Amino acid sequence: MLEEILNSIVEMDEEAVEKARKYLDEGGEPQKLLEACRDAMGEIGARFEKGEYFLSELILGGEIFRQIMDFTLPKLKSGAAKKIGKMVLGTVKEDVHNIGKDIFKVFAEASGFEVVDLGVDTPEEKFVEAVKEHKPDIVGMSCLITAGVTSMKKTVDKLKEAGLRDSVKIIIGGGRVDETVKEFTGADAWSDDAAKGVRLCKQLIGLEG
Amino acid sequence: MACCVKELAEKRMARLMAAMNLEEPDRVPLVGVGGDVIPAYSGLTMEEYYFDTEKMVKAIEKFIKDFPCDWPFAALIAGLDGRVFNVAFSEYPDLSINLTFITGPMHKVLGDKYYRYPGMEISVDSSPQFIGGTFMEADEYDKLIADPVKFIAETVLPRACRNLENPRQAMATMMRLGREIDNFNALMGQIVGKMVENGYPAMAVGGAYAPLDLIGDFLRGVENVLLDLRRYPEKVKAATEALVEPITNYALAHKSMGANLAFIPLHLNEYLSPKLYKEFYWPTLKEIIERLVKEGFKVMVFFEGKHDPHLETILELPKGWGIAYFEKTDVVKAKEVLKGHTCVMGGLPMSLIVGGTPEQIDEHVKNLLEKVKPGGGFILAPGVSTAPRETPAENIKALAEAVEKYG
Ligand code: B12
């Protein structure tokens, strides 16, 4: 059954949601279902990196995953879903594109990160406050417009001013980032690919990708 | 000076035309940057720039004077994409062509939920934002298919625009919108005048849109339309087909303003696998391009994001159809595939212009042009033409100098 659910998700079959519901109704273990879904998302990400899947598959896969999680997560015993790390994530100031950030978020969550989502058009101060409040391992910034490049630099600078820069790793992502932007902003890593981004995040906190 | 200005414009035009016609120009043409850097260079807030036409015209003039290029394409962008309005008015060509850009004042008049403008919904220093939204439900495809113009004009726009909610409001709003159209025309006239005065070709540019993007950007929202593709494939396909006619009509209407170039920016291309692209996106886009080419237009398609997986489909268009403008696709590879068939444009990552040094820019242009200049048919342009306000002036200058050297 779990195998079948996993395959349905990977093959973009929305029936997966009903199959998962049935699995739980018949006494299946939420923890195992969660793991199967995570594996499915891992496989979708791998296919995306290989160029076999495209963004529309990431979005549909993410949508199926989200729907299953809606009824699976509340059934998990607290603490059962072990987190590998915490991340504060947002689309940067001036930028209202949310799709890439949301895809990355689903993949980060699926691989075990706890993600605090700050939304879009996120002021620099909001990142700083969120770091103070949530003490994350990683700060993730999504940037789709060139004006956002400066916003990212300013955010990194503000984190420095607040004395918080060394307590976190910073990863930037989204269509407008590359090596030059990483250097310019002073981030630790960059990726314009959600699956690779998650691998990098694991590396940043000392787990192998 | 008048003689030289005219000559300069002719020279620049000849350069662009040669590249477009797949010939080798006297030097590789350069498309300039635009965007927030223009108001910033004149010390204006975004609000001043987008709501005070006099200031806008002055700022544009100053910018195109100080940063010469062959075609300041992006400097002409005076508002945000209003394609849904083009379609709603497609039966009235004289009106439709004026709605490609929704300016700040037009947005104020419409009270729409598509855009956010500085000094209104966002700070005076933020650049205008298109946020889109969902203004059509999944079960309304049949209505869109049956009569797309009626459905958009009578059902979608009243939902999307607060000031079109009832017929009484709509009457007043449309009168006010007409006034803003006049202002817009006057503005465009002034900008084109300044271009001519400064030795730039006065190229009139029209526009069209990919049907699936119209549905994604203005009707269903990007994420919804991608899910619809899986859930109601036949309906989505029929809807894209139904939109071909009104989109072609509004695109052809630009003939009346002397335009023979149509600009089509693409949005969903990067999202789709080759299979989905060929099924839902490309057929109707291709039909629109072919019809425009048949009517004497050249078409400039902006392939946003990474278009690599779909490159070969461009070869299905008639040779010399126009310009393929690439954002993140490697233009060296693109030129390899398209040479002798399609003019290729792009090659300058905006991150380099914003974050690089003049030396790095020189180096990049040198290396790139070595590869793509031979044989012609290439236009050098920033992959994203809108530059942020902090873009260093010396980098924009370095770019023009590098093109003089290596072009
Ligand atoms: C769809 C789209 C829109 C939609 C957004 C829908 C939404 N709710 O997000 C709409 C139509 C609303 C829109 C609006 C605008 N857009 Co827009 N848009 C695009 C488009 C076509 C695709 C963006 C996208 O969603 N890509 C798909 C996602 C999934 O990719 P991604 O974000 O790169 O994410 C992937 C990875 O990067 C990674 N990732 C993402 N975030 C993160 C974060 C971390 C930490 C990590 C590790 C990884 C990661 O995971 C994802 C999956 O692999 C791009 C062009 C392009 N192809 O980039 C233009 C583009 C981004 N838009 C642009 C512009 C100018 C605008 C507008 C200003 C108006 C306009 N002219 O259209 C407005 C408002 C923008 C603003 N102020 O924010 C420009 C930006 C130019 C610039 N200055 O840099 C672009 C580049 C188009 C262009 N070439 O001109 N847009």
DSSP B70-131: SB-GGGG--SEE-HHHHHHTTT-HHHHGGGSEE-HHHHHHHTBSSEE-BTTTB-TTSPPEE-
Q: What's residue B76's pLDDT? A: 82
Any CB–CB contact under 8 A between A125 and chain B?
Answer: no
**Length of chain A in terms of residues written:** 209
The sign of the torsion formed by the CA atoms of B214, B218, B223, B227 equals negative
Low-confidence ranges of chain B (pLDDT < 50): 1
> Closest by alpha carbon to B271, among B243, B315, B305, B232?
B305
For residue A202, the distance in angstroms to the closest alpha carbon of chain B comes to: 26
Q: What's residue B3's pLDDT? A: 66
CA angle B243, B247, B248 (to 5 degrees): 115
> Closest by alpha carbon to A131, among A153, A107, A160, A154?
A160
**Which amino acid would we find at residue B350?**
M
- Give the position, in ligand 1's atom list, of the atom nearest the Cα of B77: 71
The H-assigned helical ranges of B161-278 are: 167-197, 211-214, 222-231, 233-253, 274-276
Any CB–CB contact under 8 A between B224 and chain A?
Answer: no
- Cβ atoms B99, B40 nearer than 8 A: no
The sign of the torsion formed by the CA atoms of B98, B103, B109, B114 equals positive
Q: What's residue A75's pLDDT? A: 85
The residue behind tokens 């879904």 is: A37
Q: What's residue A80's pLDDT? A: 61
Q: Find the closest chain A residue to B115 by CA distance.
A: A96
Q: Give dist(CA A37, CA A29) in Å, integer.
A: 13
- Cβ atoms A148, A93 nearer than 8 A: yes
For residue A83, name the pLDDT band (cuts at 50, 70, 90).
confident
Any ligand 1 atom below 6 A from CB of B222: yes
Structure tokens at A86: 């915490």
Does the ipTM exceed 0.90? no
Distance B201 CA to ligand 1 centre (A): 31
Q: 10 Å Cβ neighbour count for A99? A: 20
- Cβ atoms A209, A200 nearer than 8 A: yes
Binary contact (B276, A56; C-beta < 8 A):
yes
Q: What's residue B239's pLDDT? A: 98
Structure tokens at A98: 């949310």
> Stretch A120-149: mean pLDDT, rounded?
95
> How many CA atoms does the CB half-sphere of B101 hold within 13 Å?
21
Structure tokens at B335: 């030129």
- Cβ atoms B288, B248 nearer than 8 A: yes
Contacts of A53 in chain B (CB under 8 A): 273
Q: Which CATH architecture has domain A2-76?
A: Orthogonal Bundle (1.10)
The phi and psi torsions of B326 (rounded to 5 degrees) equal -110, 145
Structure tokens at B83: 């394609």
Q: Which CATH architecture has domain B2-77+180-406?
A: Alpha-Beta Barrel (3.20)
Q: Give the one of B227, B270, B352 whose C-beta lies nearest to A60's C-beta.
A: B227
Structure tokens at B270: 């990067």
Residue spans of the domains in chain A: they are 2-76, 85-204
- How many Cβ pairs within 8 Å bridge chains A and B? 78
CA angle B135, B138, B141 (to 5 degrees): 90
- Cβ atoms B244, A77 nearer than 8 A: no
The residue behind tokens 């002073």 is: A186
Paired strand residues for B322: B299
User: Residue A163 carries which DSSP code?
Assistant: T
Structure tokens at A117: 């989502």
CATH of the structural domain A85-204, one choice from 3.40.50.150, 1.10.760.10, 3.30.1370.160, 3.40.50.280: 3.40.50.280
Q: What is the mean pLDDT of chain B?
A: 95
Q: Give the one of B116, B229, B231 whose C-beta lies nearest to A56's C-beta.
A: B229
> Closest by alpha carbon to B67, among B379, B396, B405?
B396
Instruction: Indicate the angle between helix axes A55-72 and B222-231, nearest 10 degrees.
Output: 90
- Cα A176 to its chain centre, rounded Å, is 18
SS3 content of chain A, % helix, strand, coil (to 5): 55, 15, 30
This prediction's pTM: 0.92
* Residue A11 pLDDT > 80: yes
Residue spans of the domains in chain B: they are 2-77+180-406
Residue with the smallest CA separation from ligand 1 atom 20 is: B267
Any CB–CB contact under 8 A between B84 and chain A?
Answer: no
